[in-house]
Amino acid sequence: MSTVFGALNRFISRLDSESPSQASRNASPYGFQILRNKNLEIPIEPWYDFVVGINGRQVDNPDPNLFATEVRNCAGSNVSLVLWNAKGQRTRTLALPIPTPSLTLGITLQWSPLSVTEDVWHVLDVIPHSPADQAGLLPYGDYIVGTPEGNVHGESGLGELVEDYLNRSLRLYVYNHEYAVTRLVTLTPSRTWGGSGALGCVLGFGALHRLPVPMTEPIAGPGETLFETARFSNDEHQPPPAQLQSQSPPLYPPPSSATQSSDLLVPASIASSIPPPPQSATSPVAGPPRGAKKLRAVAASNMTFDDYFREGELKSKEEDFAPATKNTAPPPPPPKSAKGPPTAKSPELAAETRGEEEQTKPAEEEVEPSVQNADG
């Protein structure tokens, strides 16, 4: 992956070097870099902001006296400065009042090329227990933007500086994108810390690792509505909801002051606004409501949503905590049939029964002929 990024960075650098005239036509490659800001009321960031224009004209002369003269000519009024910021490479216009007694802005400037802000190294990964880890470098959020030890230029500039400060304290200016803070970090490069590299971190350099736009929007906290003011592409030409409500006629007439209550949603107000149908002469006169269901429906017409929810909650509690009914009476016995199931007999009783049947069988055979003779 690092080889792909390196090839892409070299390709972009070649394109930039082949068209210097086009870059000079689009924007000035030089400007007054802000080195120090003594006036805290002026929203200007040192090192990151460049003055590239003043009072509608482009700054193309490195003489600081001409710039100071232009500022003094605006005494008692405002001076308009065009500032280019290295964070996101954006340009903005700032109007500053020039007081009559002092005639100064309280800032220190230096004529510098805008490309000095491209010498930035993005911290992509930090190895545990390395010099970079002990110094407190954070992956993905930290950018090494410079050093008080001297100027560092080019992709190999930081590596050469680290080699010069092996086993010695090295100070680096580190910008954190997540907190928008620049801090001074002191570390000691070493080859004997137990891992690869003198710093123990992975760095990215080039067009893909420039300083990003600062995170100015606040992060939404838990429970906050994220889509309250969201707009979509299909509602650009739609009027706001207040105009839609004023243009369209009301669906239901507003309730009278006598029946108006503090509740926002009352279902009974819609039902009461509709007149009842006329009764014909043949229609029977409605009598009093019969049954508990009709009485319950009449009472429910005056209930709000909170009452519905409260009633459902009470019902569920009653069903959850209601004691189960226990039937203490024993179940009835099954009905007795005319012939029950055969009972089991012991072997001795079965042998006696079989002997009695054999003794009674000849007697029955003898009785049958006598009955036949009597009939004859």
Is the pLDDT score of 145 beyond 90? Answer: yes
What is the predicted pLDDT for the residue at 201?
Answer: 95
With 60 as the cut, is the pLDDT of residue 280 above it? no
Query: 137 or 296, which is more confident?
Result: 137
80-91 average pLDDT score: 92
Tens of pLDDT, residue by residue over 3-22, are 666 666 666 666 555 444 44
Name residue 54's beta-bridge partners.
57, 81
pLDDT at 233 over 50: no
> Which residues, 6+ apart, have CB-to-CB distance to 60 below 8 Å?
28, 30
Looking at this protein, which amino acid is placed at residue 53?
Answer: G
Tell me what the mean pLDDT of segment 83-95 comes to: 92
Confidence band, pLDDT 50/70/90 cuts, at residue 309: confident
Tell the burial category of 123 from Cβ atoms under 10 Å away from its Cβ (0-12, 13-18, 19+): buried
The predicted pLDDT at position 170 comes to 95
Q: Look at residue 113 in the predicted model and tell me its pLDDT.
A: 92
Decide which of 17 and 358 is more confident: 358
DSSP label of 178: T
Question: In this predicted model, which residue has the larger pLDDT, 15 or 98?
Answer: 98
- Burial class from Cβ neighbours inside 10 Å (0-12, 13-18, 19+) for residue 48 reads buried
Check whether 367 has a pLDDT greater than 90: no
Quick one: pLDDT at residue 13? 62
Minimum mean pLDDT range among 26-30, 41-45, 272-276: 272-276
* pLDDT (mean) for 71-78: 88
What pLDDT score does 310 carry?
A: 84
CA distance readout (Å), 250 to 239, 240, 247, 272: 17, 17, 9, 16
Whether 85 has a pLDDT exceeding 90, the answer reads yes
Is the confidence at residue 274, as pLDDT, over 50?
Answer: yes
User: Residue 137: its pLDDT value, please?
Assistant: 96
Q: Higher confidence at residue 333 or residue 209?
A: 209
Higher pLDDT: 357 or 78? It is 78
Q: Are 43 and 107 in contact (CB under 8 A)?
A: no
pLDDT of residue 314 exceeding 90: no
Rounded to an integer, the average pLDDT of 307-323 is: 79
Amino acid at 50: F
pLDDT over 90, % of the chain:
34
Give residue 275's pLDDT band: very low, low, confident or very high (50, 70, 90): low
Q: Average pLDDT over the chain, rounded to whole?
A: 74
Chain segment 261-273, per-residue pLDDT in tens: 444 444 554 444 5
User: Is 173 within 8 Å of 146 (Cβ atoms)?
Assistant: yes
Q: Report pLDDT for 124.
A: 95
Kindly state the average pLDDT of the residues 157-171. 94
* CA-wise closest residue to 211 among 99, 119, 91: 119
pLDDT beyond 50 at 96: yes
Query: Where is pLDDT greater, at 280 or 180?
Result: 180
Is residue 203 pLDDT above 60, yes or no?
yes
Which pLDDT band, with edges at 50, 70 and 90, does 55 fall under? Answer: very high
Weakest mean pLDDT among 75-79, 99-103, 265-269: 265-269
Q: What single-letter amino acid sits at 129?
A: H
